[in-house]
Amino acid sequence: MLHEFDHRVLGAKYDLFSFFEEAPGFPVWHEGGLRIKNALIDFWRELHGQHGYREIQSPQLMDKELWKKSGHCDYFEENMFFSSVDKRDYAIKPMSCPGAILVFNQKKRSHAELPLRLCELGHVHRNENSGSLHGLMRVRSFVQDDAHIFCAEEDLLHEIKSIIGLIHLIMQKCGLKDYHFELSLRGDGEKKYLGRNEDWDFAESKLEQALVESGLAVLKRPGEAKFYGPSLDVHIKDVHGRSWQCSSIQLDFNLPVRFDVHYFDEKGQRRVPFMLHRAIFGSLERFVGILLENYGKHLPLWMHPVQFKVISVSEEAASYGQEVLRLLRQRGLRVESDLSERLLKEKLKRSYDEMVHALVIVGKNEQERQSVVLKYLEKKIQQEVSLAEFIA
């Protein structure tokens, strides 16, 4: 039997998302779920603006030749979807890296522009095998909060440590405490890796140094690195004790060479920058799944799909209820209402079965006093506050 906090149970019960038989592994967002996802995106966008990131958006389909050049066709082809239009072969992007590189290469770059932090909410598609699909946790299409940072060698350590700081900030804001970093390194098995050994040594040591200087434990995972470079990966534990990989920081010295990425230093010398690939939520779909399993229906207010629900005690308070609803929506809050003729008891009972953060109850008395009664469903707290104070 599924656990009551299983995100698939919550998703169906509260109408957050679903899956179509016609599109296995491709999540369908309903309004409620999309509100959660969009709240995460709004917060992400604001935070990245504050931290000097520049947002871009690259195409879904790009010529297959590009993916041959990037190495994806050699190392990742079985996970990719392809399409053919006008006798030209395209790949549906499984990652956003080549798009960011094409943006960087659109013009001549000077050292003064570095570090250049290009972020993208990339809608990526990956062909996971049907047996491994699992609700929102493992899907075939998801939004990845990606970023690619182009920087000189001397900025590398600072940039990696800044990303670690950003990861802590986001986890804190989302109230997630049970996570840890792992250092994914080359292995000595069958797996193929791109590039020279000395470059791998350098990149692995930089990531380890950043971990140490950030005061974090060094947990090495040989053989877990992606084909193009080592990485620092964040694993979050859910309420069932299962661990899910979310954030990742990858140091890449291969793609810049393959795509002739370069900038000009103070002396006008042509130089190849390092490239950091990083995602913090990782897959937004998976992240919403983890949040649901962590909080159940009581998500933090800022990301809650229904922050308030306005309920009228009697029919005569309905117009005051309308006014309160209008004012709250004007403030940009996500608010629903029940101003019907139903009995209060029935309205409350219905609300307990829904996913609502708090009720805003209004009656004749509240109208006269220009106040509302706030009822927080999780904490079972009830208090009267003035309307002006509440709106503010």
Q: CA gyration radius for the chain?
A: 25
Choose between 64 and 277: whose C-beta lies nearer to Zn ion.
Answer: 277
Written as six digits, the tokens of 317 are 């308070």
* Bridge-based pairing state of the strands 179-185 and 17-19: unpaired
Among the listed ranges 89-97, 127-135, 360-368, 375-383, the one in contact with Zn ion (CB under 5 A) is 89-97
Q: Which residues pair with 244 in a beta bridge?
A: 236
Among the listed ranges 54-62, 70-78, 92-100, 187-195, the one in contact with Zn ion (CB under 5 A) is 92-100
Choose between 118 and 359: whose C-beta lies nearer to Zn ion.
Answer: 118
Strand intervals (E) in the chain = 17-19, 27-29, 54-55, 61-63, 81-85, 88-92, 116-125, 141-151, 179-185, 220-222, 231-237, 243-252, 263-264, 270-271, 274-283, 308-312, 335-338, 358-362, 371-376, 381-386
In the complex, what is the shortest distance from the CB of residue 99 to Zn ion, in angstroms, rounded to a whole number?
9
Provide the phi-psi class of 257: left if phi over 0, else alpha when psi is between -120 and 50, else beta: alpha
Among the listed ranges 33-41, 72-80, 90-98, 194-202, the one in contact with Zn ion (CB under 5 A) is 90-98
In the complex, what is the shortest distance from the CB of residue 120 to Zn ion, in angstroms, rounded to a whole number?
9
Written as six digits, the tokens of 94 are 């499984």
Which of 16, 39, 97, 355 lies at the binding interface for Zn ion (CB under 5 A)?
Answer: 97
In the complex, what is the shortest distance from the CB of residue 125 to Zn ion, in angstroms, rounded to a whole number?
15
Among the listed ranges 25-33, 96-104, 156-164, 184-192, the one in contact with Zn ion (CB under 5 A) is 96-104
By CB atoms closer than 10 A (0-12, 13-18, 19+), residue 196 is exposed
Which 342-361 residues touch Zn ion, going by CB under 5 A? none
* Bridge-based pairing state of the strands 81-85 and 88-92: antiparallel
* Bridge-based pairing state of the strands 61-63 and 88-92: antiparallel
Decide: helix, strand or coil at residue 240. Answer: coil
In the complex, what is the shortest distance from the CB of residue 250 to Zn ion, in angstroms, rounded to a whole number?
7
Choose between 146 and 366: whose C-beta lies nearer to Zn ion.
Answer: 146
**Residue burial 230-258, b: 16+ Cβ < 10 Å; e: rest:** bbbbbbbbbeeeeebbbbbbbbbbbbbeb
Decide: helix, strand or coil at residue 85. Answer: strand
In the complex, what is the shortest distance from the CB of residue 243 to Zn ion, in angstroms, rounded to a whole number?
23
Among the listed ranges 94-102, 221-229, 285-293, 380-388, the one in contact with Zn ion (CB under 5 A) is 94-102
Choose between 66 and 97: whose C-beta lies nearer to Zn ion.
Answer: 97
Kindly state whether residue 277 participates in binding Zn ion, applying the rule CB under 5 A: yes
The tally of CA atoms less than 13 A away on the side-chain side of residue 277 is: 24
Cα maximum dimension of the chain:
78
In the complex, what is the shortest distance from the CB of residue 95 to Zn ion, in angstroms, rounded to a whole number?
5
Kindly state whether residue 226 participates in binding Zn ion, applying the rule CB under 5 A: no
* Bridge-based pairing state of the strands 335-338 and 88-92: unpaired
Among the listed ranges 37-45, 195-203, 205-213, 270-278, the one in contact with Zn ion (CB under 5 A) is 270-278
Choose between 39 and 97: whose C-beta lies nearer to Zn ion.
Answer: 97
Among the listed ranges 129-137, 225-233, 273-281, 364-372, the one in contact with Zn ion (CB under 5 A) is 273-281
Choose between 199 and 336: whose C-beta lies nearer to Zn ion.
Answer: 199
Kindly state whether residue 119 participates in binding Zn ion, applying the rule CB under 5 A: no
Choose between 62 and 373: whose C-beta lies nearer to Zn ion.
Answer: 62
Question: How many binding residues for Zn ion (CB under 5 A)?
Answer: 2
Among the listed ranges 41-49, 91-99, 278-286, 315-323, the one in contact with Zn ion (CB under 5 A) is 91-99
Cβ(92)–Cβ(61) under 8 Å? yes
Contacts of 23 (CB under 8 A, 6+ apart): none
In the complex, what is the shortest distance from the CB of residue 345 to Zn ion, in angstroms, rounded to a whole number?
55
Choose between 97 and 303: whose C-beta lies nearer to Zn ion.
Answer: 97
Choose between 186 and 277: whose C-beta lies nearer to Zn ion.
Answer: 277
Choose between 98 and 289: whose C-beta lies nearer to Zn ion.
Answer: 98
> Could you list the residues that contact Zn ion (CB under 5 A)?
97, 277
